[in-house]
Amino acid sequence: MRASALRAELVKLHRAPIWAAFVLLPVVAAAIGTFNYMGNLAILQSGWFDLWTQHTLFSGMIFLHALIGASCSWLMGLEHRGTNWNQLMASPTGALRILASKLLVAWLMLGVGLAVTGVLFVGCGRFAGLPGLPGFGYVLWLVLAWVGGLASIACQLLVSLLIRNFAAPVGIAAIGGLVGFFAHAYDMGLAWPYALLVMALNSNGNGAVGAGQLMAFLASTVAFAGAFMMIATLVVAGTDVRTSS
Amino acid sequence: MDCCIQTRGLTKTYGKAAVVQSLDLAVPRGSVYGFLGPNGAGKTTTMKMLLGLVHPSAGTATVLGRQVTPRSHVQINARVGSLIESPSCYPHLTARENLEVVRSLRGLPASSIDEALAVVRLGHTGGKPVRAFSLGMRQRLGLAAALLGDPELLLLDEPTNGLDPAGIQEIRELIRSLPTERGCTVLVSSHLLSEVEQMSDYVGIINHGRMAWQGPLGELHARARRWLELRTTDNERAARLLGASCADGGWVRVRMRDDESVARMTMGLAREGIGIVRLEERHEDLEDIFIALTGTEASL
């Protein structure tokens, strides 16, 4: 039977308390967004799009990045606990495969967070009395946000590998998202890993990632994700295993 | 000698502190090798270097015929089970789920989990998360993870830590049986001399990062000095006649001799009118040898 680091990571998600954050944080972001939207109906006249910007403004800026930070902290924290790095690195699985599996699992978790965000968007829109259903474009933005989120995840895995603490990397992710929001606003989103998710969500209404920008967006995502994964692999493979026993 | 583990000049330094120094370790295939030393002697660091968890500062390690390098240790570790420092586990998962993680990482069949759980008698724990396990149960789980998939070589770092006396005996017997029943070579570290004596065929004594002695346990016993002690009706005169010393507790200590010499000695004392009340053969125990080799008292 073939060794599967990904399967091992998926087993670790059983009964994982971190899942609660993937429901709670999008609910908080949706509640704030819906409250803002309903309180400003006089100036917010664009229906579903205005609700979207209100929902994803805080999500893209802080909440989704905090969620990424929390999931990466949790995934790395599992190994920082006790002597778990011993078991992991004494297995016949290389550092790159271990980290790639964590990247995929964190990406899957972000997918769940974005799916919850989408469901809450539709639910809150219906609750707010918006007609019909939002267009397919919103699904595309969520999918692009999922893709762009890979860069933030790879960066956060590296941060959580180096900082053996749960809260500090979450704070770094939230600040990264905030900086990303402004980087996107000043048209420098492609140069900052945390800005790619913000760009994809189009939460400031400046315009979605169009066909002309798609290749640069994907190239930036792959470049950031690849670079951070490479650094993380070198750190894990090139340094002595440190346990906290 | 066919060795599963062979190191040459293996060294690990942290800054100026040498934790392991020029270590030449030879673990014969099919043996239980007791790696004995006081706490902080360098046992765990050595085992970590054998698994590729710690990079040596100098020297080489060959495990199962392959030199351990940053590239090769991944392939070598497919044939090695280990329990280093304390058991690794994910507390929110059950024992079975924890072993499922190890099984997935090692690419083993599903049946290996039931087998390992049965060996360490943890099959009854069901849906109980490991966070609710006692230290002894966690230690058993660590052993089960190490045994998963019948590895060719097992590295066990103080495996009886946290077990109750019955559990300690059970695990020692299990370790003793591994070479014959599973064809497995075992390197087991301990700071307990009595434990190593009970489990091992070969012994390596490490102190301050250096190998003080290694070889078959029988050879270590053979190093023990032997002597005779007598209690007589006149110890002082007996000691003078035999050119011996008076030991504490009213005994005369004489060098170990062959049977004929001993017979001559006793008849000689009798001719001098000195009655022999007691005549006993004494020898150093392993504790004395260990102290002589390391200058440190071993725990008992």
Looking at the structure, do residues B271 and B211 belong to the same domain, yes or no? no
Q: How many helices (H) and strands (E) does chain A have?
A: 10, 0
**pLDDT computed for residue B300 by the predictor:** 41
**Highest mean pLDDT of the ranges B109-118, B255-264, B281-290:** B109-118
Q: State the nearest Cα–Cα gap between A100 and chain B, in angstroms.
A: 13
Looking at the structure, do residues B30 and B137 belong to the same domain, yes or no? yes
Among B88, B90, B104, select the one facing A3 at the smallest CB separation.
B104
- Is residue B175 domain-resident? yes
**pLDDT computed for residue A245 by the predictor:** 65
Q: State the nearest Cα–Cα gap between B54 and chain A, in angstroms.
A: 4
Q: Using a CB-CB distance cutoff of 8 angstroms, which residues of chain B are in contact with residue A84?
A: 88-90
Instruction: Provide the token pair at A175.
Output: 């600040």
Q: Using a CB-CB distance cutoff of 8 angstroms, which residues of chain B are in contact with residue A4?
A: 104-105, 107
Q: Is B93 on the interface with A (CB under 8 A)?
A: yes
- Is residue B246 domain-resident? yes
- Is residue B65 domain-resident? yes
Among A8, A12, A86, select the one facing B88 at the smallest CB separation.
A86
Judged by CB atoms closer than 8 Å, whether chains meet at A86 and B92 is answered as no
Judged by CB atoms closer than 8 Å, whether chains meet at A8 and B90 is answered as no
**pLDDT computed for residue A230 by the predictor:** 98
Q: Are B194 and B204 in contact (CB under 8 A)?
A: no
Judged by CB atoms closer than 8 Å, whether chains meet at B106 and A3 is answered as yes
* pLDDT for B68 beyond 70: yes
Rounded Cα–Cα distance for residues B264 and B267 (Å): 5
**pLDDT computed for residue B285 by the predictor:** 76
Q: Using a CB-CB distance cutoff of 8 angstroms, which residues of chain A are in contact with residue B90?
A: 12, 78, 81, 84
**pLDDT computed for residue B161 by the predictor:** 86
Looking at the structure, do residues B100 and B85 belong to the same domain, yes or no? yes
Q: Which residue on chain A is closest to B78 by alpha carbon?
A: A92
Q: Of B171, B193, B222, which residue constitutes the final position of a domain?
A: B222
Looking at the structure, do residues B74 and B205 belong to the same domain, yes or no? yes
- Is residue B296 domain-resident? no
**pLDDT computed for residue A70 by the predictor:** 95
Q: Using a CB-CB distance cutoff of 8 angstroms, which residues of chain A are in contact with residue B87?
A: 82-83
Residue B67's pLDDT band (cuts 50, 70, 90):
very high
Q: State the nearest Cα–Cα gap between B283 and chain A, in angstroms.
A: 41
**pLDDT computed for residue A68 by the predictor:** 96
Looking at the structure, do residues B179 and B255 belong to the same domain, yes or no? no
Q: Of B193, B222, B251, which residue constitutes the final position of a domain?
A: B222
Looking at the structure, do residues B65 and B191 belong to the same domain, yes or no? yes
Rounded Cα–Cα distance for residues B32 and A90 (Å): 21
What ipTM is given for this predicted complex? 0.89
**pLDDT mean over B66-70:** 94
Q: Is B52 on the interface with A (CB under 8 A)?
A: yes
Place of tokens 């005549």: B279
Q: Are A55 and A144 in contact (CB under 8 A)?
A: no
> Residue B248 contacts by C-beta under 8 Å, 6 or more apart in sequence?
none
Q: Which residue on chain A is closest to B74 by alpha carbon?
A: A92
Q: Give the residue from A101, A93, A237, A236 showing the smallest Cα distance to B75.
A: A93
pLDDT tens string, chain A, 245 residues long: the values are: 566 899 999 999 998 889 888 888 899 999 999 998 888 888 887 788 989 998 888 888 889 999 999 999 999 999 999 999 999 999 999 999 999 999 999 999 999 999 999 999 999 999 988 888 898 889 999 999 999 999 999 999 999 999 999 999 999 999 999 999 999 989 898 999 999 999 999 877 667 777 778 999 999 999 999 999 999 999 999 999 988 86
Q: Is A82 on the interface with B (CB under 8 A)?
A: yes
Instruction: Provide the token pair at B102.
Output: 């190890």
Produce one character per residue of B17-45: b if its CB has 16 or more CB atoms within 10 Å, e if not.
ebbbbebebbbbbebbbbbbbbeebbbbb
Q: Using a CB-CB distance cutoff of 8 angstroms, which residues of chain A are in contact with residue B93?
A: 11-12, 14-15
Q: Are B206 and B212 in contact (CB under 8 A)?
A: yes
State pLDDT tens for residues B88-123: 999 999 999 999 999 999 999 999 999 999 988 888
- Tell me how far CA of residue A221 lies from CA of A125, A199, A215, A218, B90, in angstroms: 31, 12, 10, 5, 32
Element holding B11 (H helix, E strand): strand B3-14
The beta strand positions in A184-235, using DSSP E, are none
**pLDDT computed for residue B19 by the predictor:** 96
**pLDDT mean over B40-46:** 94
Which of A15, A86, A99 to probe the B interface (max B CBs under 10 A)? A86
Looking at the structure, do residues B29 and B139 belong to the same domain, yes or no? yes
- Is residue B73 domain-resident? yes
Q: Is A240 on the interface with B (CB under 8 A)?
A: yes
- Is residue B270 domain-resident? yes
Q: Exposed, middle or buried: residue A53 (CB in 10 Å: 0-12, 13-18, 19+)?
A: buried
Domain count within chain B = 2
Per mean pLDDT, which range of A158-162, B58-62, B266-270 is the poorest? B266-270
Rounded Cα–Cα distance for residues B12 and B23 (Å): 10
Range of the domain at B248: 226-283
Q: Are A106 and A16 in contact (CB under 8 A)?
A: no
Residue B225's pLDDT band (cuts 50, 70, 90):
confident
Q: State the nearest Cα–Cα gap between A144 and chain B, in angstroms.
A: 31
**pLDDT computed for residue A236 by the predictor:** 96
Q: Exposed, middle or buried: residue B200 (CB in 10 Å: 0-12, 13-18, 19+)?
A: buried
Q: Given the DSSP bridges, would you call strands B58-63 and B202-207 parallel, antiparallel or unpaired?
A: unpaired
> Residue A70 contacts by C-beta under 8 Å, 6 or more apart in sequence?
A18, A21, A166, A170, A173
Instruction: Provide the token pair at A117.
Output: 């965000």
* pLDDT for B299 beyond 60: no
Q: Is B90 on the interface with A (CB under 8 A)?
A: yes
**pLDDT computed for residue A2 by the predictor:** 62
Q: State the nearest Cα–Cα gap between B74 and chain A, in angstroms.
A: 4
Residue B226's pLDDT band (cuts 50, 70, 90):
confident
Interface of B with A in 100-119 (CB under 8 A): 100-102, 104-109
Q: Is B82 on the interface with A (CB under 8 A)?
A: yes
* pLDDT for B297 beyond 70: no
* pLDDT for B282 beyond 90: no
- Is residue B290 domain-resident? no
Eight-class DSSP state of A226: H
CATH classification at residue B278: 3.30.70
Looking at the structure, do residues B83 and B119 belong to the same domain, yes or no? yes
Q: How many helices (H) and strands (E) does chain B have?
A: 11, 15
Q: Is A84 on the interface with B (CB under 8 A)?
A: yes
Among A15, A83, A91, select the one facing B92 at the smallest CB separation.
A15
